[in-house]
Amino acid sequence: MDYILKSKRLGFRPWTQEDLPLLRRLNQDPQIMEHFPGALDEEVVQFFYKRLQDSFTTKGYCYFVVDLLETGECIGMIGLMDQDYESEFTPSVDIGWRIVPEHWRKGLASEGAKAMLEQAQDLFKTEEIYAFATRANTGSIKVMERIGMSFAGSFDHPKLLDYPNLKTCVAYRWKAQESK
């Protein structure tokens, strides 16, 4: 398999049609979507797939499929995407991750996100990256801290204003020159 990037245990690659079942699961599984307004229907999953494809084609990055190198199993997505909703932290490049629950708490999100940050400047010419999570998403916040991101502030996410338990989000930032 040709990978865009590898870490010790993970390979990162672009999405293919064969990966649509994984993308559906990552956007419809109640455990994975706990900190989102709800599961995405098929039309929105297809739109997201197109957005991932378009980002990879135009920018060279997206939330990549991540495979376990040892087995080839597709376990989630980790990568970069442009965010342009209105906030003090956007427009910006965002790092994000979703891992299937049976592979949670194994350090895979941290390992993959760290590898992505370490290569972001060289591979994607990206000097500053943000990560966003609901305040209640302590798992993702711990990943942000583990990979060396710094707290940048809190904000009410404009796409979550109708969801009082989700709307307050935190932003963490990584800058290439600060990580060297």
- For 76-123, how does the pLDDT look when each residue is reduced to its tens digit (9 = 90+)? 999 999 999 998 999 999 999 999 999 999 999 999 999 999 998 888
Q: What is the pTM of this model?
A: 0.95
Give the ranges where 20-105 is alpha helix by DSSP (H).
20-28, 42-59
Q: Which residues 6+ apart lie within 8 Å of 57 measured at CB? A: none
H/E/C letters for each residue in 17-40?
HHHHHHHHHHHHCCCCCCCCCCCC
pLDDT tens-digit profile of 21-33?
999 999 999 999 9
* Domain-wise residue ranges, the chain: 5-126
pLDDT tens-digit profile of 126-166?
889 999 999 999 999 999 999 999 999 999 999 999 999 99
Q: How far apart are CA 6 and CA 8, in angstroms?
A: 7
pLDDT tens-digit profile of 42-57?
999 999 999 999 999 9
Coil/strand/helix, residue 167: coil
Q: Is the separation of the CB atoms in 23 and 45 below 8 Å? A: yes
DSSP category for residue 103: G
pLDDT surpassing 80 at residue 177: no
pLDDT tens-digit profile of 114-127?
999 999 888 888 88
Residue-level pLDDT at 165: 92
What H or E segment, with its residue span, contains residue 138?
Answer: helix 138-146
Residue-level pLDDT at 121: 86
Instruction: Single out the residue of 130, 134, 155, 126 nearest to residue 144, CA to CA.
Output: 130
Q: 5-126 adopts what CATH topology?
A: Aminopeptidase (3.40.630)
